[in-house]
Structure 1
Amino acid sequence: MSWQDRLERRFRRLAIPNLAGFLAGFQGALWLLIQLMPRRVGQDSILEAFVLIPDKVRDGEVWRLVTFVFLPPGNGLLAIFYIYLFWLMGTALEGYWGTVRCNFYVLISVLATIAVAFLLPDGRPATNMFIGSSVFLAFAYLFPNFTLSIYFILPIRIKWLALLTWLGYGFVLIEGDWPSRAYVLASICNFLLFFGGDILGRMRYGKHAMETAFHKVTEGHKPFHTCAICGLTEHDAPLEDFRICSRCDAGIFEYCSQHLKNHEHRVKES
């Protein structure tokens, strides 16, 4: 029984069904509240109250440990599209894994983000951006051929968008500062926990398949004719005329034209 199966049996009663819909609903409600709020009141101040800022949590604003997951992905109309995608992908993951596993996948990302926010010395604020990205990567891994219409016009398979995301993460890990690297690692730790074994298995299988194919190719190119004296083959001399010596009765031996009449005959011992 895998660790995921054990978690599912132990925490089934505590799992939140339709978690993606729950989070997307709060994000949508907060987005709508911001749109209705007059700018002079300060829309940014509302968002700032939800962001995870470690120093303010230490000062008593403990609600930030939870509210940052409800932040909408922006203020514009495009945020509605992102919220819809989060709901769509999260619902698909729950349908594929079940409620408990989907809950733990999101929870691991949330806890990792909180841990990084408090461990970083600069106290950099944290949002739920990487949490949504981890859901996106899981969905793309399980449903790589799902087609998404960019701006409702350009169809593209989601695996290519995931590839761009991985390339972006790779660039941050190589060229970014340490806080950015830490948040990237926090965003993919749940992905590696859930899919690392499967990825390694596919890599081993791919290596085995490549070795098998290589052996088949090399076997297919083994020489058909080989001189029993010098080892010459038709690969070495395509125009060479190989013959079998009729006087060598200890087996079937082929010879090139140079050694056909210039070799010691192999005869059976009487």
Structure 2
Amino acid sequence: MKKLCDAVDRFCLKHPRFGIPNLMRFVVFITAAVFLLDSFSGGAASYMLNFDWALILRGELWRLVTWLFIPEYDRVIWMVVGMFFYYFIGSSIESAWGTAKFTLFYLTGAVLTVLFGCLAGLWTGYPLVTNIYLNNVLFLAFATLYPDALIRVYFVLPVKAKWLALFYVFLTFYDLIRMNTAAAMIMLPMTLPLLAAVWLAYAVFFWDRIRDILADIGFLTRHQRSPRTIQFKEAAKKQAEKARRQGYRHKCEVCGRTDADHPELSFRYCSRCAGYHCFCEDHIFNHEHFTS
């Protein structure tokens, strides 16, 4: 999983122009347009755009994409609130990650949803693809990046995003566990693959955060006590003290550029090198690893 996470970062660094700027603006506007058309057509617009495997096989290939714009709500007030909320969290994630990584995250979740939904259709008899779980994982991503952001529930009660995210995860598992046997046999084969799809996308893009959380609660104590980790932390302290004396925080081991001289550059530390070695965005994936 770590290699996939590193591959994502490598791709985004090498292709900064990849993606659609302000992606959530387009998603929200198109979804709002579909909602308005549904209001005047009795749901005909959503019927023409939803994921229907039989119609896709007949040539209606646009349904492979347009299911992303099916409105999640049927009341105007909740539709407006939902669209503003998704635009807010989507633009916040894009601001933190950049256009390339956010677009890749959204695209990965959408593609995996289609693939897992179609695979589930092999034993359910009919593929089910919906954007509900993809929208939910957007909030999970937002809460991971901005855990202390305040969300006003019903416009009144301020709650930190991290607690709402934990509550969402709890409710998801609770809804699955409390199903009776008959309902579970029908619903689980359809819902579990879709959940697995978006949570797999989340795990790939947030693997570093997940490892930190596991370490904090004691699941990675063995790793934290390893000689290499201890050496890395000691070297990090020495580097921080040296940086304070020299007037910069990061310096590339290859080209010698610093964050003080080039504030526009991104600097990262290589976990495969022995010790604590910093590299700029041009050399983080293009350098010989230190072995001692």
TM over 0.5: yes
- Residue aligning to 1:148: 151
The aligned counterpart of 1:167 is 170
Bigger drift between 201-210 and 170-179 goes to 201-210
The answer to whether the aligner puts 1:13 opposite 2:17 as a matched pair is yes
CA distance in 2, matches of 1:167, 1:95: 28
Per the alignment, do residues 201 and 173 of structure 1 end up closer, same or farther by CA in structure 2, a change over 3 Å counting?
A: same
Range moving further from structure 2, 201-210 or 77-86: 201-210
| Contact 2:89 2:142 survives alignment (8 Å) | yes
Query: Structure 1 residues 90, 99: closer, same or farther in 2, change over 3 A?
Result: same
Query: Measured at CA, do residues 209 and 69 of structure 1 come closer, stay the same or move farther in structure 2, by a change above 3 Å?
Result: closer
For each residue in 1:222-249, what CA deviation from the matched residue of structure 2 results, as whole angstroms up to 9, or x when unmatched?
xxxxxxxxxxxxxxxxxxxxxxxxxxxx
Q: CA offsets, 1:83-134, max 9 Å, x none?
A: 1111100000000011110011101110011102221222243221111111
Asked if 2 retains the 8 angstrom alpha-carbon contact of 1:131 and 1:187, the reply is yes
Q: Is the 8 A contact 2:8 2:101 kept in 1?
A: yes
- Output the amino acid matched with 1:130: Y
Match of residue 62 from structure 1: 61
Count of aligned positions: 206
* CA distance in structure 2 between the partners assigned to 1:209 and 1:105 by the alignment: 26
Distance 1:9 1:208, change over 3 A: closer
Report the identity percentage.
Answer: 25
Alignment partners' CA distance in 2, 1:208 and 1:79:
41
Match of 2:110 in 1: 110
* Larger gyration radius, structure 1 or structure 2: 1
Q: Indicate the residue corresponding to 1:192 in structure 2.
A: 203
CA, structure 1 residues 99+205, in 2 after alignment: closer, same or farther (shift >3 Å)?
A: same
1:205/1:171 CA distance change after superposition, 3 Å: closer
CA contact (8 A) 1:69 1:127 kept: yes
C-alpha distance in structure 2 between counterparts of 1:9 and 1:209, whole Å: 29
| Change over 3 Å in CA distance of 1:201–1:59 after alignment to 2 | same
Q: Secondary structure at the match of 1:156?
A: strand
Q: Which residue identity does 1:66 align to in structure 2?
A: V
- TM-score scaled by length of structure 1: 0.69
The worse-fitting range, judged by mean Cα deviation, of 174-183 and 92-101 is: 174-183
Aligned twin of 1:95? 95
Pick closer, same or farther for the CA change 1:196–1:14 going to 2, 3 Å.
closer
Distance 2:134 2:141 in 1: 11
SS of 1:148's equivalent in the other structure is strand
Q: Which runs of 5+ in 1 are unaligned?
A: 212-270
Amino acid at match of 1:28: A
Q: How many Å separate the matches in 2 of 1:113 and 1:208?
A: 29
Is residue 86 from structure 1 mapped to residue 86 from structure 2 by the alignment? Answer: yes
Cα distance in 1 between the residues matched to 2:219 and 2:48:
54
102-111 or 115-124: which moved more? 115-124
Question: Quick one: distance in 2 between partners of 1:128 and 1:63?
Answer: 15
Q: CA deviation at 1:34?
A: 2.4
Q: Which runs of 5+ in 2 are unaligned?
A: 223-292
Report the secondary structure of 1:155's partner residue: strand
Match of 1:46 in 2: 45
Cα distance, 1:210 vs structure 2: 8.4
Offset, 1:172: 5.3
AA partner of residue 123 (structure 1): Y
1:24 to 16, 22, 28: 28
Shift of 1:205: 4.6
After TM superposition, give the deviation of residue 208 of structure 1 in Å.
8.9
Larger mean Cα displacement after TM superposition, 141-150 or 15-24: 141-150
The two structures, once aligned, show a CA RMSD in angstroms of: 2.3
